[in-house]
């Protein structure tokens, strides 16, 4: 509870600072939505983004949904259409609103500040859930209080404090439980605390926390397959084994208690040189699909909308945030994994690319997470450019 009050005070001080100084990122009780910029400035920002470099299949279009959303990471949508945005590099949670439903956000609200890596956001029954490193917060009735957010309640505060892979992606499953990954506190290690390198789940009130999947180095994205309710998730492979080893993974977990290999075995067949001795990769669950090495596969989603052509229905889209220490950069794109009726991945192909200049090895954007809107278009967050894109189909 002391931590809660510390963060609440920090949030209050931040809000006062913004509003007292007149900064347009502020929020106060008298007016106020936090607006990133004037309409003129937003238009200018959009024009500066080189969207013409993004290559998409014929008939698809990418546009900017929201600008000025610094470090935009995980996305969640409220019942009234509010888009909640977490971040990792900052301490804030924001909300963006498209008031006239024209595919462009009009206002940005500051929901909270003073938080520790509030990467994960999820929405349920009117409440916003936010994941920090060691705890889960809940903001009650949030869409009716965007301009004056309530103080958060602590739902659960027993996760480890370690910051390495400590940021979290969260989502509610078809069983009504909140799923929360706990990354390994290292590049490669065998932690004593069993909760590391897992995906956990709990009831919405924080009770009944349990480990659902083990051997998961760092998952920052998951979704449930339509029709089957089976959990699929991305997992980032370890570093320092070279440019091409090991691949990132797309995994499938139809039941509780499965072990996906970390730190003993990677990608179903690569024994770890430090921790693999005496273990056999056949002990562990192999990935449903091997992804590119070091691409940093993040917030995957099954596409269930009707806007895109039928061939995309129930297929998996995966933003690849991009490598950080590969000699030639990889990722910086959105991939498509096709899945057959038996739940088997059949292909891994590029859907959208162009955020990376291959020749100069410079990236102007890094896609992070996806969110499907009711009209079937996809929102894509970009924590490098500080924007949220909208991908639509007009063929």
Question: Given the DSSP bridges, would you call strands 210-214 and 258-259 parallel, antiparallel or unpaired?
Answer: parallel
Q: How much is the average pLDDT of 196-218?
A: 98
Q: Which residue has the higher pLDDT, 28 or 363?
A: 363
Question: What does the pLDDT read at residue 386?
Answer: 97
Task: Tell whether the model's pLDDT for residue 176 goes beyond 70.
Answer: yes
Whether residue 185 has pLDDT greater than 50: yes
Residue 46: predicted pLDDT: 61
* Strand ranges for 17-119 from DSSP E: 60-66, 75-77, 83-85, 93-97, 107-112
Q: Which residue has the higher pLDDT, 220 or 41?
A: 220
Q: How large is the average pLDDT for residues 304-312?
A: 98
Rounded-to-integer distance, Cα 109 and Cα 117, Å:
18
| Structure tokens, 97 | 């609103």
pLDDT at 30 over 70: no
Cα 28 from Cα 30, distance rounded (Å): 6
Residue 210 burial by CB count (10 A; 0-12/13-18/19+): exposed, middle or buried? exposed
Q: What is the pTM of this model?
A: 0.89
How far is the C-alpha of 75 from the C-alpha of 371, rounded, in Å?
6
E strand or H helix that includes residue 201: strand 198-202
Residues 332-380: tens digit of each pLDDT: 999 999 999 899 999 999 999 999 999 999 999 999 999 999 999 999 9
Q: What percentage of residues in the chain have a pLDDT greater than 70?
A: 88
| pLDDT of amino acid 47 | 58
Tell me if residue 4 falls in helix, strand or coil. helix
- H-helix or E-strand containing 139? strand 136-139
Mean pLDDT of the chain: 90
Which residues have C-beta within 8 Å of that of residue 71, sequence separation ≥ 6? Answer: 87, 88, 89, 90, 383, 386
Whole-angstrom distance, CA of residue 139 vs CA of residue 147: 13
171-190: average pLDDT: 98
In the predicted structure, residue 18 carries a pLDDT above the cut 70: no
Q: Where are the alpha helices (DSSP H) in 110-258?
A: none
Burial pattern 331-359, b for ≥16 Cβ within 10 A else e, equals bbbbbbbbbeeeeebeebeebbbbbbeee
SS3 for 248-289 is: EEEEEECCCCEECCCCCEECCCEECCCCCCCCCHHHCCCCCE
- Alpha carbon distance 352, 255 (integer Å): 32
């Amino acid at each position: 509870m002391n931590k809660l009050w510390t963060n609440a005070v920090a949030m209050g001080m931040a809000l006062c600072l913004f509003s007292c100084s007149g900064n347009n990122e502020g929020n106060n009780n008298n007016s106020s939505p936090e607006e990133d910029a004037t309409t003129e400035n937003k238009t200018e920002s959009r024009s500066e983004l080189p969207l013409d470099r993004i290559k998409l299949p014929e008939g698809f279009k990418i546009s900017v949904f929201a600008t000025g959303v610094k470090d935009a990471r995980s996305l969640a949508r409220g019942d009234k259409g509010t888009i909640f945005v977490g971040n990792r590099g900052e301490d804030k949670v924001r909300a963006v609103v498209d008031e006239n439903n024209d595919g462009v956000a009009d206002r940005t609200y500051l929901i909270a500040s003073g938080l520790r890596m509030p990467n994960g956001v999820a929405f349920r029954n009117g409440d916003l859930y936010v994941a920090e490193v060691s705890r889960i917060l809940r903001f009650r009735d949030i869409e009716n209080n965007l301009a004056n957010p309530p103080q958060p309640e602590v739902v659960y505060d027993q996760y480890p404090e370690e910051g390495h892979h400590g940021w979290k992606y969260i989502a509610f499953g078809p069983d009504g439980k909140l799923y929360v990954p706990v990354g390994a506190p290292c590049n490669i290690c065998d932690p004593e605390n069993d909760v590391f390198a897992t995906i956990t789940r709990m009831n919405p009130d924080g009770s009944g926390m349990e480990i659902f999947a083990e051997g998961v180095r760092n998952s920052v994205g998951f979704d449930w397959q339509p029709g089957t309710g089976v959990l699929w998730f991305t997992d980032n492979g370890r570093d320092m084994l070279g440019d091409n080893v090991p691949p990132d993974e797309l995994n499938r977990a139809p039941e509780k208690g499965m072990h996906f290999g970390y730190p003993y075995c990677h990608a179903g067949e690569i024994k770890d040189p430090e921790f693999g001795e005496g273990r056999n990769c056949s002990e562990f669950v192999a990935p449903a699909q091997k992804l590119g090495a070091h691409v940093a596969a993040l917030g995957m989603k099954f596409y269930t909308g009707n806007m895109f052509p039928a061939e995309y229905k129930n297929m998996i889209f995966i933003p690849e945030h991009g490598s950080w220490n590969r000699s030639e950069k990889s990722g910086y794109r959105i991939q498509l994994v096709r899945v057959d009726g038996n739940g088997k991945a059949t292909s891994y192909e590029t859907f959208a690319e162009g955020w990376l200049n291959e020749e100069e090895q410079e990236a102007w954007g890094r896609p992070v997470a996806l969110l499907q809107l009711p009209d079937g278009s996809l929102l894509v967050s970009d924590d490098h450019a500080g924007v949220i894109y909208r991908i639509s189909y007009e063929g």
